[in-house]
Amino acid sequence: MSARILLIEDETAIRRFLRVALESEGHDVLEAASAREGLAQAARTAPDAVILDLGLPDADGLSVLQGLRGWSEVPVLVLSVRADEAGKVQALDAGAQDYVTKPFSTAELLARIRSLLRDRRSAEEPGAEITLGPLRIDAAAHQVQLAGDPLSLTRREFDLLWMLARHAGRLLTQEMILRSLWGEAHAEDTQYLRVYIRQLRAKLGDDAANPRWIFTEPGIGYRMASE
Amino acid sequence: MMPDRTRPDPEALLPEARREGRGRLKVFLGAAPGVGKTYAMLEAARRRRDEGASVLIGVVEAHGRAETEALLRDLEVLPRQPFYHGGRILHEMDLDALIAARPDLALIDELAHSNLSGTRHEKRWQDVEEVLAAGIDVFTTLNVQHVETLNDTVARITGIRVRETVPDRVLEEAHEIELVDLPPDELIARLRAGKVYVQDQAARAVANFFAKGNLTALRELAMRTAADRVDAQLREHMAAHAIEGPWPTQERVLVLLPDGIEGRDAVRIAKRAADRARVEWLAVGLTELSREGTGVPRPAQALRLAQRLGAEVSQLQVDRDPGAEILDYARRHNVRRVVLPRPPPRPWAARLLRPRAHERLLRQLLREGQDYELTLVADSAAPRRGPARRPRLLPADPLRDAGRAVLAVALTSALALAIDRFLPVVSLSLLYMTAVVAMAARLGLGASVATAALSFFVYNFLFTRPRYTLEVWSQSELLTLVLFLVASIVTGNLAARLRSRVIAQRAIAERTSTLYDFSRKAAAAASFDDVVWAAVSHVAAVLQGEAILLAPDAEGRLAIAGAFPPEDRIGPRELSAARYAFDHGEAAGQGSGTLPAARWLFLPLSGADRRLGVLGIATPDGRSADPAERRLLEALADQVALALERIRLSEDLAQSRVASEAERLRSALLSSVSHDLRTPLVSILGAAEGLELPGLGPEQRGALTEVIREEGERLDRYIQNLLDMSRLGHGALKPNRLPVDLRELAGAARHRLRGVLRPFHLEVQIDPRLPPVSGDPILLEQVLVNILDNAAKYSDPGAGITLGARVQGARVALWIEDHGPGLPPGSQEAVFDMFWRAEQGDGGRTGTGLGLAICRGIVEAHGGSIRAGARADHGRGTRITLDLPLSNPEALP
C-alpha cells in the first residue's frame, strides 16, 4: 500500500534517514524544511499522511497543524521531544492523530504510519467487522469473540472496544474517547473512562501491569494493540 | 434585686434592631496574608450568585494569583475610581457607584485598607459601614493583626507593628465571621513558592513575621477571635431573649479585683483555671464610688496583666454594698467560677464596725453565691512589696546630708537629755558616736563629718559643765570632747569607705548579671533577627525605656532591624544621629556631644573589621543616662556587636559552604559529561566506521548496528536525565495531580523499558483493587522507569525483579526489589545524591548517577518520600520504597 507522505522537519539528517526508511516501505516522500513550505506543499500536493515536527524554525508546529485542519482531514503524525508533555497533548487535541517521541525507533514510526493509513481507509469504507489476531468484533451482531469464545459486553463496553479497535495501533486521548462515547458534557470525567477500561480489561483477560490488548499512555490516553 | 428578670434587656435588643434594614456583614478572618481569605470569599460569593443573588465586586486584590483570578473571571467587577495622588494615578473603590448599583451582595477586600486622601472616608471599614447602611450585604476579608485591640498583642508576638487597624466594634457587629485557616507549615510552603503577596515591607521584617512560631501564635489568635465572636453572639442572644444564666455551655471564670489590692496572684490563678477548663475569663476592677478621685486605683496593674493574659477586662463602679451587682454581672456573663483576693487582715473589731466593700463582698458571695465556685487567693504582695530588703544607699547630696545631720543630732540630743539622769555624762558621747556611724553607713563621709562636728558642739553645749555654754571647765571633759571628735571622724571615715565599697560591689554585680543575662540570650539566638530582638528587648528592660537597633540593609543603608517596643519609623533627626554614630564609630544623639537634640542616644556596634549597626536608647523620662549606665550600655553594645558578628560570620560560612557544594556539583557534572557522553559516542563512531569496512558478513553488520542503536539509546537516557534534573533544580516541577492506577503505571513503565527488561523476570504484586494514588502520571512513570532501569542495571540476566504496592493508612507504599549486589553499607542516603554511583570509574556499571536523584525530586514534589535499603527478606539485593498519598477514594462512581 503505497502512499504519498509529506515530511515537515527542519533537521536534514532526520529527513534523510526517514526518506530512506519510508521509501523502503514503498511510499513517495515529499520534504519541507519550514512551516511555510510545509503548508504550501500540503496545499499543492494533497498528501495521504503528514509527519510534522513540533519544533520548526519559522513557526510552531502546532500552528501548522491548525492551518492544515482548516481545510484538510489528512492524518498527521507529530514528532515531539519528551520533555514537552503539554505540547504533545495540545497537538492531539488540535487534531493530530498520533505522536512519537524523539528519539524514536524507525520501526515504530513505520508501524504508526501503517496504522494511520489503514485507519484512514477504514474511515472511508467503514466495515462491520474487525479482526485483531484472536479477537473478532462484529458490529452488526454486537458480538465479540476471543479465541472463539464469545464475550458478553455491555453496550458501553462494546462501544469503547469498537472505538479502540477501529483505531488499533493509534493513540486515542481520554478526552477524545469521552467526547465521542459520553458526549461533550463528560469530556473531562476521566474517572468514568478508567472504570470502563478496567472492566473491559477484566473481560478481555488483559493485565494492566503487563498488557496484551490495551496499552496505557499515562496521563494521555489509551492505545489498542494492532494485532 | 433585679426588677424583672424575664424582661428582655432593652439595651441588648438595640444591636439586633440596628441590624434590621441594614445589610449583613460577613468577615473572612485569617491569621496572616496568604491563607486564602480572598479565595474563600470569592467562592462563597459565587455560591450566593448561583443561588440567584446579584453580586458586585467593589474591590478585590488578586495579587496575580492564578487560582484567585480564575474565580474572578465571571463575576461582575465595579470599575475603580482614579485618584491623582502624589504625581501618580491611583485607584480606589468607587463607593457611590457601588451604592447606586444596589447589588444584593458587595465584595470588598481588605477591610483594614486606608483610603487615599480625597476619598470620602479615611478608612475602608467606614466605606463598608456606609454600604451596609444602604441595605447591601458585604463580604470582606481581614487579618487578625488588624483588629484594634489585638494590635499590641500581635506587635509583641511578631515584633512588627501594623498601623492600619479596624475597631473591634466593626467585627462585633458583623453578622458572621468565617475563619480561613491554613496550618503554618503550608503557609510557609506557599510563601516559599511565591504564592503569598506581601506589601512592600522590608524583606527581613517579612521573614520575621512568617516565622513558624509567629504563625502558630497568630493562628491561635485568629481562632480565638472567631470563637469569641460565637460566644459573644450567644451572650447577646441570651440578653435579647431574656434567658437567664448561667448556661452550662461555657463556664467562664471571673476574677474580681477590689480597690486597694495588688491582685496579680489572683489574676494568674484565674488565668490558669480558665486555661485548664479551656474557657474564657473576665477580670473586673471594682472602684468604690465614695473613693473616686483618690488617684489611680491599685488594681490597675493587675487589670493590665489580666488583659495581657487574655482576659476580657472591665471596670465596675460599685457602692459600699457591691454583692448584688456582682452576682448579677456574673449571671449575665455566664460565670461559673469566681476568683477573689483575700481581704488584707485587720482586727476583727475593725472588720465588724467599719467593714470595707471588699469584706462585705466576700461575705455576700459566701452567703448568696451558691451557684458559683469561689476561690480565695492570698494577696501575697503586701509582705513582699518592692525588692528584697537591703540598706538603702543613696548618692551624695550635700544639702540633704546637712539636713539629715541636723535631724540626727537633734534626735540624739533629745534621747540623751531624756536619759541624762541615768548615765554619766561621758557615756552620752557614745550615743552621738552611734549617730555618726549610722550616718556614715547610710550617707557617706560628708554627712558623717558634718554629724560629728555638729555633735561636738551640741554635746559641749548641752552636757559639759558649765551646761548650756560652749565653755569647758574640766580638763577630763575637754579630753573626752577631743577624743570624741577624733574617734567620730575615724569611725565615720571607716564606715563611709565600707559603704562605698558595698555600692561599687553591688553595681559590679548588677552589671555582671545584666551582661551575663544578655550573653546567655544572645548565645541562644540562632539568626540575625533573634540577636537583634534579644538585644533590644534586653536593653529596653535594663533601662526601663526604649531601645532600637539599626543595621545596614542589602543596599548598605541604615534601616531599623528591630525595636522594643516595636517601632518601624524613626525621625530624620534621629536617623542622622544614627548615621553619624555609624559612620564615625562614636556615640551620637541625646546627651552626647553630637546632635544632642535627638530623642535617642545611639551607640555604634563595631565588629572586628566592620561596623555592624547602631544601638539606640531612650529613657522614659528623657533624662540622659548617668555615667554608670553609660558604661553598662557600652559594655552591652560591645556584646551585641560580638553576637551580631558571630551570626554574620556563621552566615558567611554557610554561604561559602553552599558555594563549595555548588562547586563540587559542577566538577562532578563536568567529569560525568566528559565520561558518560563520550563513551557511547566512541562506540557509535567506531561501529559506524566499522560498517564501511569491506568484506563484512550480515551477522557482523547486524552486531555493529546493534551497538550503534544501544549506545544511541544510552546517550538519549543520559541527556534526558540531565534535562529532568535541571527541571527539578529550577523548582519548575509542579505535579499535575490526577488519580493514578499503579498497575497501569507499572504496565506503561514495563512497556517503555521492554528492551532493557527482556532478560529479567518482572513480577508485579499490586492488587487490581488498589485505590489510585494522587500524582502526575507522566512524572511517576519516569520514577518507575528510573528505578526499574537501575534494578536491571545491577542484576544478572535471568534474575527476578519485584514491583509491589500496598495501602498503608491514607497512603500507598510502593517497593521495587532486585537481586543485585545490594547497597554498600552506609550509602542508603547517598544513592539519592546527584552523580552518585555504586562503583566508580571505567570499570563500573554505566549510568549517570542521576536517576535516583531525579526520583527523589519527583516523589518529594508529590509530598511523598523515597528511601533505599536491604530486601525485606534480608537476602542479597536492594529494596527501594516509595510512599505516596492516596487519591480521593470517593472520586470513583
CB B553 within 8 A of CB B571: no
What is the rounded average pLDDT of the residues B676-704? 83
Q: Please report which confidence band the pLDDT of residue B843 belongs to, taking 50, 70 and 90 as the band edges.
A: very low
Inter-residue contact A48 to A72 (CB < 8 Å) = no
B155 or A131: whose pLDDT is higher?
A: A131
For residue B197, name the pLDDT band (cuts at 50, 70, 90).
Answer: low
Q: Shortest CA distance to B226 belongs to which of B177, B180, B275?
A: B177
Query: A153 CA to chain B: closest CA distance, Å?
Result: 19
Residues of chain B with CATH 3.40.50.300: 10-240
A95 neighbors A69 (Cβ within 8 angstroms): yes
Segments of chain A with pLDDT less than 70: 1, 82-85, 122-126
What is the rounded average pLDDT of the residues B663-692? 77
Q: What residues in B contact A208, CB-CB < 8 Å?
A: 741, 743-744, 746-747, 768
CATH number at B10-240: 3.40.50.300
Backbone angles phi, psi at B52, to 5 degrees: 110, 0
**pLDDT, average across residues B839-848:** 50
Q: Residue B378: what pLDDT?
A: 76
What does the pLDDT read at residue A30?
93
Q: Which residues of A touch B745 (CB under 8 A)?
A: 216, 218
For residue B216, pLDDT beyond 80: no
| Whether residue B129 has pLDDT greater than 50 | yes
Most confident of B86-100, B260-274, B765-779: B765-779
Residue B385's pLDDT is 33
Burial grade of B391 (CB within 10 A; 0-12, 13-18, 19 or more): exposed
- Out of B312-321, B370-379, B531-540, pick the least confident: B312-321
Q: Do B738 and A190 touch (CB under 8 A)?
A: yes
Measured in angstroms, the CA of A190 and the nearest CA of chain B are apart by: 9
Report d(CA B213, CA B252) in Å as an integer: 28
CATH homologous superfamily, domain B252-345+356-377: HUPs (3.40.50.620)
B482 touches chain A (CB under 8 A): no
- Show the 3-state SS of B833-877: CCCCCCCCCCCCCCCCCCHHHHHHHHHHHCCCEEEEEECCCCCCC
Average pLDDT over residues B294-318: 71
What pLDDT is attached to residue B356? 76
Rounded CA separation B455/B488 (Å): 9
Q: Are B267 and B302 within 8 A, CB to CB?
A: yes
Segment (H or E) for B59: strand B55-59
Chain A residues in contact with B740 (beta carbon < 8 A): 218
Q: CA dihedral in degrees (A119, A125, A129, A133; nearest 10)? A: -30
Q: Tell which wins on pLDDT, B199 or B342.
A: B342
* Degrees to nearest 5, angle at CA B157 with B153 and B162: 65
Q: Is B582 exposed, middle or buried (0-12, 13-18, 19+ CB in 10 A)?
A: buried
Please enumerate in sequence order all residues whose Cβ is within 8 A of that of A169, keeping only pairs 6 or more positions apart, or say none: A111, A112, A114, A115, A118, A119, A223, A224, A225, A226
For residue B130, the tally of other CB atoms under 10 A from its CB is 15
Sort out which chain B residues have CB atoms less than 8 A from A210's CB and list them: 747, 750, 762, 764
At B893 the pLDDT is 35
Q: What CATH code would you report for B734-891?
A: 3.30.565.10
| Strand partners for B650 | none
Residues of chain B with CATH 3.30.450.40: 543-639
Closest CA to B715 of B750, B747, B679, B742: B679
More confident residue, B248 or B400: B400
CA B439, chain centre distance (Å): 51
Find all residues with CB under 8 Å of A225, minimum gap 6, and list them: A132, A168, A169, A211, A212, A213, A214, A215
- How close B761 gets to chain A, by Cα (Å)? 12
The H or E element that residue B286 is part of is: strand B281-288
User: Number of residue pairs across A and B with CB atoms under 8 Å?
Assistant: 70
Instruction: Please enumerate in sequence order all residues whose Cβ is within 8 A of that of B882, keeping only pairs 6 or more positions apart, or say none.
Output: B783, B813, B814, B815, B855, B859, B864, B865, B866
Statement: residue B244 has pLDDT above 90: no
Segment B567-594, tens digit of pLDDT: 778 888 888 889 988 988 888 888 777 8
Interface of B with A in 766-805 (CB under 8 A): 766, 768, 772, 776-778, 780-781, 803
CA distance A49 to chain B (A): 26
Cα within 13 Å of Cα(B109), Cβ side: 19
Q: ∠ at Cα A32 (A28, A37), nearest 5°? A: 130
Lowest mean pLDDT among B64-68, B129-133, B231-235, B876-880: B231-235
Cα separation of B259 and B300, whole Å? 9
Would you state the cell numbers that stand for residue B130, as one nine-digit string? 456606609
Contact A211 B751 (CB under 8 A): yes
Dihedral sign from CA coordinates of B9, B10, B15, B19 = positive
Is B750–A216 a contact, with Cβ atoms under 8 angstroms apart? no
Tell me the chain B residues in contact with residue A90 when contact means C-beta distances shorter than 8 Å: none
Residue B6: band (very low, low, confident or very high) from pLDDT cuts 50, 70, 90: very low
Judged by CB atoms closer than 8 Å, whether chains meet at B745 and A211 is answered as no
Task: Tell me whether residues B751 and A195 touch, CB distance under 8 A.
Answer: no
Q: What is the DSSP letter of B345?
A: P
And the C-alpha cell for B37? 481569605
| Architecture of domain A129-224 in this structure | Orthogonal Bundle (1.10)
Give Cβ neighbours of residue A89 (< 8 Å, ≥ 6 apart). A173, A220
Q: How does residue B855 score in pLDDT terms, banded at 50, 70 and 90?
A: confident
CATH class of domain segment(s) A4-124: alpha beta
Contacts for B291 with CB less than 8 Å, ≥ 6 apart:
B259
Residue A213 has a pLDDT of: 92
The pairing of strands A76-81 and A49-53 is: parallel
User: Hey, what's the cell of A142?
Assistant: 454486537
B543-639 has which fold? Beta-Lactamase (3.30.450)
Q: Is the model's pLDDT at B296 over the cut of 90?
A: no
Write the ipTM: 0.75
CB contact under 8 A, B738 and A219: yes
Q: Residues of chain B with pLDDT > 70: what percent?
A: 84
Confirm or reject contact between B711 and chain A (CB < 8 A): no
Averaged pLDDT of chain B: 78
Range scoring the smallest mean pLDDT among A38-42, B533-537, B667-671: B667-671
Determine, for residues B750 and A195 on separate chains, whether the beta-carbon distance falls below 8 Å.
no
B841 has a chain A CB within 8 A of its CB:
no
pLDDT > 90 in chain B, percent: 5
Q: Which residues of B touch A85 (CB under 8 A)?
A: 778
CB neighbourhood size of B844 (10 A): 11
Test B748 with A210 for CB contact under 8 angstroms: no
Nearest one of B199, B224, B323 to B278, comparing CA atoms: B224
Say which range, B22-31, B337-346, B417-426, B829-838, has the weakest mean pLDDT. Answer: B829-838
Residues B265/B379, Cβ–Cβ less than 8 Å? yes
Domain layout of chain A by residue ranges: 4-124, 129-224
Average pLDDT on B726-753 reads 80
Residues of chain B with CATH 3.30.565.10: 734-891
Residue ranges, CATH 3.40.50.620, chain B: 252-345+356-377
- Span B362-385, mean pLDDT? 71
Q: What is the dihedral of CA B740, B743, B748, B749, to 10 degrees?
A: 100
- Res B784: pLDDT: 92
Per DSSP, the residues of B450-476 read HHHHHHHHHHHHHHSSSTTSS----HH
What pLDDT is stored for residue B298 in this prediction? 57
Residues of A in contact with B777 (CB under 8 A): 218-219
- Lowest mean pLDDT across A68-82, B12-26, B323-337: B12-26
Q: With an 8 Å Cβ cutoff, are A198 and B768 in contact?
A: yes
B680 reaches A (C-beta below 8 A)? no
Q: Which of B744, B763, B803 to mutate to test the interface with A (most CBs of A within 10 A)?
A: B744
Residue pLDDT, tens place only, B393-439? 555 677 888 888 888 889 998 888 888 888 887 788 888 888 888 88
Residue B543 Ramachandran class (φ > 0 left, ψ -120 to 50 alpha, else beta): alpha
Taking CB atoms and an 8 Å limit, are A191 and B748 in contact across chains? no
CA–CA separation, B32 vs B662, rounded Å? 35
Q: Give the model's pLDDT for residue B240.
A: 53
Q: Say whether A194 and B766 touch across the interface (CB within 8 A).
A: no
pLDDT above 60: residue B561:
yes
Nearest-Cα distance to chain A for B713, in Å, is 8
pLDDT at residue B892 above 70? Answer: no
Interface contact B747-A210, CB threshold 8 A:
yes
Cell of A215: 496499552
A-chain residues within 8 Å CB-CB of B766? 209
The answer, for B720 touching chain A at a CB cutoff of 8 Å, is: yes
B746/A208 CB distance under 8 A: yes
B730, B752, B778, best to mutate vs chain A, most A CBs in 10 Å:
B778
Q: What is the pLDDT of residue B696?
A: 80
The grid coordinates of residue B870 equal: 536491604
